[in-house]
Amino acid sequence: DQQVKQNSPSLSVQEGRISILNCDYTNSMFDYFLWYKKYPAEGPTFLISISSIKDKNEDGRFTVFLNKSAKHLSLHIVPSQPGDSAVYFCAAKGTYKYIFGTGTRLKVLA
Amino acid sequence: EAGVTQFPSHSVIEKGQTVTLRCDPISGHDNLYWYRRVMGKEIKFLLHFVKESKQDESGMPNNRFLAERTGGTYSTLKVQPAELEDSGVYFCASSQVEGDPYNEQFFGPGTRLTVL
């Protein structure tokens, strides 16, 4: 049973517009969440994280929002650039391990 | 500083054969993880080493999988005998400090395993 869900397998956005990637989780004990980005033939690379004591964390063009009551987080990319085209994985931190979603493939159209 | 490296990048074997995957973590990283992604699905945790000790192997699918980390440096993951459902991309990750679970995990490029 998946504890972290990314229900949109793919998303296409025009360059310069906002990309919103969504993630839901089931375990209310999770207290730390991460987004990783993955290009083809490469490993996932860390993008941004958020602790459950916050509802927003921002790093340049990337912002992650956390809604604990809804058990939902989202990643906003503004403005989107063609180089952002990749697969984005949402993850929750277990004791040490990460519990990942299935990923969302983002395509930013020039 | 070199990142996490994995060897081989690809492996194609027949059902019933044995394959050994290797991971070299970032130097000085105590924590080493193995994950697997089966096509289109989530990246799933397999196990976690702290130095040479297995901290958590709850994600290992069955006893055909054996992971070792002798000396607390590189790690190997052996699949013997391989089955069709073992196909996927095997990722290794490492993080720095023993005892700090909030350390970022750095991932290697993965080994794509195909079992025919």
Give the distance from residue A54's alpha carbon to the nearest chain B alpha carbon, in angstroms: 15
The two beta strands, B10-13 and B111-115, are parallel
Q: Is A93 on the interface with B (CB under 8 A)?
A: yes
Chain A residue numbers with beta carbons less than 8 Å from the beta carbon of B104 are 46, 49
Question: A6 to chain B: nearest residue by CA?
Answer: B42
Residue A6: partners with Cβ closer than 8 Å, 6 or more residues away: A21, A22, A23, A24, A89, A90, A101, A102, A103, A104
A68-105 pLDDT, tens digit per residue, is 999 999 999 999 999 999 999 999 998 889 999 999 99
Along the 116 residues of chain B, how does pLDDT read in single tens digits? Answer: 689 999 999 999 999 999 999 999 999 899 999 999 998 899 999 999 999 999 999 999 999 999 999 888 999 999 999 999 999 999 999 998 755 656 789 999 999 999 99
Question: B43 to chain A: nearest residue by CA?
Answer: A100
Q: Answer whether B101 sits within 8 Å of A2, measured CB to CB.
A: no
Helices of type H across chain A = none
